[in-house]
Amino acid sequence: MKEPTATEKYLTLLAREFPSAESAAAEMIRLCALRTLPKGTEYFFSDLHGEYESFSRLLRSASGMIRAKIDLVFEKSLSSAERARLAELIYTPEEILSGMVQSGEIDDEWRSLTLYRLILVSEAVSAKYTRAEVRKKMPPAFGAILDELLNVTDDVDKEYYYTELISSILSTGIADDFIAALCALIRRLAVNRLHIIGDVFDRGPRADRIMDELMTCEHVDFEWGNHDISWMGAASGCRALIANVVRIALGYNSYDVLEDGYGLNLRPLSVFAERVYGADPCTEFYPHTLDDVVYDTVEYSLTAKMHKAIAVIQLKLEGQLMRSHPEYGLEDRRLFEKVDFRAGTLTYGGRVYALCDTCFPTVDPDDPLRLTEEEEDLMRILSSSFHHSVRLNAHIRHLYARGSMYKTVNGNLLYHGCIPLNADGSFQKVTVCGEGLSGRALLDTLDGIARRAYFAPFGSPEQIEARDYLWYLWCGPDSPLYGKDKNAFFERSLLGDDAAELKRENYAPYYELSHDPAVCGQILAEFGLDPTRGHIVNGHVPVIRAEGQTPVRADGRLFVIDGGISKAYRVKTGIAGYTLIYDSHSLRLAEHTPGESTPTVSVVEKMPRRVNVADTDIGEELAGRIADLGALLAAYRSGEIKERGSYQ
């Protein structure tokens, strides 16, 4: 018997899903119809840095686009104040309904009118979806009723139909739950796809809640940032990164994410720090207090001691790691070993610098990188806590499952930090595993290393090697996620004002060169995209709006969308973040201001014609699927494959 070809085997498998010519033809028609629809709206966010409340607000409001839909539908029939109240209801229905019930402001007349208005908004935001897609986004409990409400045929008296159906909803006592369900549907329909351009973690109080929210989104991807890689490395068992994420959290008073969020055991660190640094004021280590601790308030003086204790441990562990990996080329960063702890000074570059803190009871001047027995015990406990945190590892696995070093989507290139470049604009070769790599090949290789760090057998040589390299990706000068000549953690922590030059972190050539459209075109071409029409979207470096900087660069080829969602950056940037929005008509940029409910949205590029699904990556996939079904249909009609029918 003749061995079937690969194509024949594939068509036989496809026939199991579509067992008749009619079913194959029907699916072809459905997919062809999908390709004619307008593309869904994509939202690009960057550098969320644990700011759950701010991010949740942006997500629930679709960065102001839900309000824009309300204005479009009700501009002539509702006042601006009424439209604003309707928008707020859609963003946070449970909170607003609860408040209205308690204050006695709500009655069935208000419910009836509100339901009618929400139906009209739902119709507006669902216009670019098929009926099946809208059904998928409906809350299951009310799916059938919502489907009826949104799909009334033209030959029915809509006003009478709506009145009767709303009356039934009111009479059964489910109106408030139904209002909340309609609001949830509107929010889901407003955002088709989310792109998170790195740095979900650190500084802000609740990165865990951001991850919870993002895990409910059907279409979301992550382009890892250096702060994400740091947490990924910590979950992989890299002790230097475990110390790093704990130190940063303590430095920003973010106990909630560590303890309430991930159940990490900080009690041993607290006891150790109080005993070892009890008489030390730890002045240089007092935390930034941008957020209040909700679940376990700790005195700032104790936080400072814990912060110093873990910082010293981190400096030791990083020194050990650099000593073990001379291939990283970080000999000049081994500063902790160069300190004269007896004199309290560092000699560097021919100058002597006095340390601003000289109390180091756990440091052996003759072997400064050695952890004491208690520090070793403490790191064992912390490592075990990270390794066994179920919620943390669920979030890290989601970062891996939906994330990567970069992504190409619909003609756009997304990455967090930079593409390493030489001063002349050519791609820089970075030595990884003994091989010089650049451009796309470099990022592909680093992606593989990041995955081995977590998924290779825990404690195996390849896993340890990979997780160590995640530390380099966090802060190494040639890391595309970091993009600076050094991480001055040591200098900022232990040197005074006379070391200002040493504390300066200089950005890689990319950040200047990427203002040139030709350089951006070269990068886009390297990743297989059209250099004249594609865009690069990245974050990492805050746009200082207060100094006149703009997120749109290189004649519109590059968007830098780190604008200060993190409260730690808002004083510097002058705003509260950016959202890039790509719908079927245009690319828009939403600029957010602290305390303002509606962002400023501007069109930065108008599409020459409306973009349909057929013009997108999904459209290309659908075209391939249609071609495969066409081949199956031809095989049925020629008799090469027998129809099975529904009875088999």
Mean pLDDT of 245-252: 95
The pLDDT assigned to 151 comes to: 72
Give the CA angle between residues 457, 463, 467 to the nearest 5°.
135
What b/e readout covers 158-167, taking b as 16+ CB neighbours within 10 angstroms? Answer: eeeebeebbe
Instruction: Report the mean per-residue pLDDT for the chain.
Output: 92
Residue 647 has pLDDT above 60, yes or no: no
Q: DSSP letter for 481, please.
A: T
pLDDT in tens, 106-125: 888 999 999 989 989 998 99
Q: DSSP letter for 259, please.
A: I
Model confidence band, residue 648 (pLDDT cutoffs 50, 70, 90): very low
Cβ atoms of residues 621 and 410 within 8 Å: no
Instruction: Enumerate the H helices of 509-616 as residue ranges.
Output: 510-513, 517-526, 567-573
Residue 296 has pLDDT above 80, yes or no: no
Q: Which two tokens stand for residue 185?
A: 């549907």
Q: Give the lowest-confidence range in 280-294, 336-350, 440-454.
A: 280-294
Mean pLDDT of 255-271: 94
Q: Which two tokens stand for residue 573?
A: 């940037």
Residue 279 has pLDDT above 70, yes or no: yes
Phi, psi for residue 436 in degrees, rounded to 5: -80, 120
The pLDDT assigned to 429 comes to: 97
Residue 264 has pLDDT above 90, yes or no: yes
Q: DSSP letter for 611, please.
A: P
Q: Give the lowest-confidence range in 128-132, 199-203, 436-440.
A: 128-132
The pLDDT assigned to 306 comes to: 95
Residue 1 has pLDDT above 70, yes or no: no
Name which of 318, 174, 300 is nearest 243 in CA terms. Answer: 318
Q: Give the lowest-confidence range in 49-53, 313-317, 545-549.
A: 545-549
The pLDDT assigned to 293 comes to: 56
